[in-house]
Every structure is written in C-alpha cells, then in structure tokens.
Amino acid sequence: MKKKGKIVLACILALCLVITGFEIWNNHKGKSQSDLKFVFVHGLSGWGHYDAINYVYPYWGLTGGSITKYLGRQGYDCYEASVAPSGSAWDRACELYAQLAGTVVDYGKEHSERCHHDRYGKDYSKNPLMDDFNDSTIVLLGHSFGGATIRLFSEILVDGSPAEQECTDADDLSPFFKGGDTDRIFAIVTLAAPSNGTTAYDLYEDPEFDVDSIYVPAKYEKAGDLMSDGTKAKIDGRIAEDYAAYDMHIDNAYELNETITTFENIYYFAYPCSTTIIDENGEKIPNADITESMFMRSAIRMNKYAGTTKGGIVIDESWQSNDGLVNEVSAMAPSFAPSETYQSGVTLVPGKYYVMPTITGDHMYFQGGMTKRVNIKPFYLELVQMISALR
C-alpha cells in the first residue's frame, strides 16, 4: 500500500507540474490585448519567419531578442514576413500576399514577361504566415525598403493591377491583382523607410559630385565595403527595374509614389531616424557613438551631398541629415501623400501620414541595433498600444 501510495502521490505531483507548466506557458503567451494582427516586413538584405537565421538572430530584435515574441507575450499577435532580400517592391508585395493568404506566389503575367522571370514562385498553401488572413484586420510595419513593399502591397490589395487585369484571363488572374479588399488594412507604419529614395544611391551617379574628395577614415571605408558586398543583388536575368536598388533611386521612388494611393480608411505613420550632428566647425557629420561602422562611410558622404537627379529633382541641404542609409527627409511622408507633423494629444484620423518626431539613431535603430544596441521593445509596445487604441 505504501508503494502504491507513493506512486499515486508521484502521479499527482506530476499532474500538478503539468498544469502549472501549462499555466506558466499560457501566461507567457499573453492575454490578447487587440484583435489587430501586426505584420512586420523587413528591409533590403533582411530575413523573417521562413528563414532559419531568424530563429538564432531575429531581424526584428537582433542581439536584443525577438521583438515580435516580446509583443506576443504582451498580448499582441505578430507575424514576420520573409520577402526577397534584393527584390523589387512589386515582387516583394506579391510574396507578402502569398505568405499572408497561403497561396502560390504569382508575380503576374504582365510583370513576369516584361521583367524576364518566372511567373510563379514558392507555394505557401501548406505553411501560411497566418491561418485566417481573410478574416483578419492587419497592421503593416515596414523597415527600410519594407516601407515601399507594404505601401505598394496596400495599393494592389485595394485597387488591384490594371496592367495584370488587361493581359490576363479572368480565371487566371490572382485575387491579389483583382483588388477590392478595402477593409483588410487598418494601419501602415514606415520605419526609417526611403519613401522618396535615398542619396546613398544617387550621389554615386552625379557627375558633378566628387565622391573621392570626401575624406572617410580607413576603418569606415573597410566596413562600408563589407556592407556593400553584403547587399549586392544576385543578378539572375531580370531587368534592372525589378531590383530594390532601382526603386531606391530618388527619381524611381517618386515614380513609384505616383502609383500608390493614400487611402481614406487607413492610418499612416512615418518614423525617420538621424545620427547627423554639427561638429565644432559647423559641419554636418554622423555621430560615431551611435552609428554602426558599416554606415559611417555613406553617412559622411550623404552629409556632404547636394545636387540634382537625372530626372531634375533638386537635392538641397535639407536632404543631408541621415541615418547612415536613408535621408531623414525621405523617411517622412512619401511624395504626393497628404501629411502633417504628429502632435501628442491631437485626435488621429486616417487618410494621411503622421510624420513622427525624428528618432536619434542609425538605420538599425528599429531593429534594436547590432553593436550600437538599444532597448527598442518599449518603443514597439507603445506603438502597438497606440494603434490598437484607435480601433
């Protein structure tokens, strides 16, 4: 009897541990705080849910730990897309749709034929990013080139693609290109996004600007080379217009902006960053204390650049403040979009961009930094709470 009693006691204790463990896990998951679903879209050379590296070194959080898991523990439903690291805004938007809707990536008949690549990509039907996209209301957050991705995604989701509709049989047309999904997106947030392009690309193509005349310390030259090598696109036969590098040029960004609507029922927020300071000589320089070494070279050159794009857009001194990769002014509202400067306490309304106060930080600030680490989790918690309160 004593032996049986010990066994029963052991079973009871084990059951208690299981129940306690479940309660701990359930608390760890977090009680739901919002019916919104927050979709995070990475920038150039980034990664997400479908990439193995994300589980060791999360894009959203880096060395500070996963931001989305943290938000999940606070009760906010978050998802991380994995779109083409160097692909165009169009290709990335198509991939985002397939991941959310759980379908095969369809880049479109017209687009794929014009851009010289396969029409269809990966099949996410058995492994969608979320299980109930058609019954969900989402918030899109795009870091860096993820900003252009989510803005173009919203345009196609709502208004469809006339070019694809014109050249594709109705029964062969992706639902994405048909448009009409007017209530799916609640808010769009761009984070250090080159919404109007970046001089980090354009300054090298201006014959009036002598790049070599700008002094850059050797250690930053080396770090800059490493970053450039790491972000180079793998040339695979597509036309030049089908790469992120094309969309990030200022003239091309403006052209893209002309095709993207600011919808009256969507809330918009734009967060710029800058590490630019004024030195003792009155010159603009990047603050090396908060700027990753790999961004220092481009930051130094962007601080000095002024000129005119091939399309005639004047780049004056207002473009010089930057985060090492994106100009502060470019990370504000996209060209042609209605906007206003955000003021605390003012009632927020959809249909225009709220340009948030510029954050002192480099281009990786919104990821939590790499060697220049910052605790970014409170920022995101406050952000999702603010957006959820608008619901």
The pLDDT of residue 15 is above 70:
no
User: Quick one: what percent of the chain has pLDDT higher than 90?
Assistant: 88
Query: Could you read off the pLDDT of 119-160 as tens digits, one per residue?
Result: 999 999 999 999 999 999 999 999 999 999 999 999 999 999
Q: Quick check: is 2 in a domain? A: no
pLDDT at residue 233, as a whole number: 65
Reported as a pLDDT band with limits 50, 70 and 90, residue 232 is low
Q: Quick check: is 89 in a domain? A: yes
Overall number of domains in the chain:
1
The pLDDT of residue 6 is above 70:
no
The pLDDT of residue 230 is above 50:
yes
Q: Which DSSP letter does residue 197 get? A: B
Q: Specify the amino acid at residue 62.
A: L
pLDDT at residue 11, as a whole number: 44
Q: Quick check: is 18 in a domain? A: no
pLDDT at residue 25, as a whole number: 35
Reported as a pLDDT band with limits 50, 70 and 90, residue 12 is very low
Helices (H), 249-341: 250-257, 293-304
Q: Quick check: is 21 in a domain? A: no
Q: Quick check: is 307 in a domain? A: yes
DSSP-based three-state secondary structure for 141: strand
The pLDDT of residue 5 is above 80:
no
**What pTM, to 2 d.p., does this model score?**
0.91
Residue 4: partners with Cβ closer than 8 Å, 6 or more residues away: none
Q: Quick check: is 15 in a domain? A: no
| Segment 95-119 mean pLDDT | 98
| Residue 130, domain extent | 35-389
The pLDDT of residue 321 is above 70:
yes
| Dihedral in degrees, nearest 10, Cα atoms 307, 309, 314, 315 | -50
| Segment 65-87 mean pLDDT | 97
Q: What is the mean pLDDT of the chain?
A: 92
CATH of the domain at 371: 3.40.50.1820
| Segment 330-343 mean pLDDT | 97
Q: Quick check: is 246 in a domain? A: yes
Q: Specify the amino acid at residue 375.
A: N
Closest Cα partner for 194 from 160, 233, 149? 149
Residue with tokens 């208004």: 159
**Whole-angstrom Cα distance, residue 95 to residue 387?**
25
pLDDT at residue 22, as a whole number: 34
| Segment 60-87 mean pLDDT | 97
Query: Could you read off the pLDDT of 256-305 as tens digits, one per residue?
Result: 999 999 999 999 999 999 999 999 999 999 999 999 999 999 999 999 99
pLDDT at residue 29, as a whole number: 62
Q: Which DSSP letter does residue 248 get? A: T
Q: Quick check: is 30 in a domain? A: no
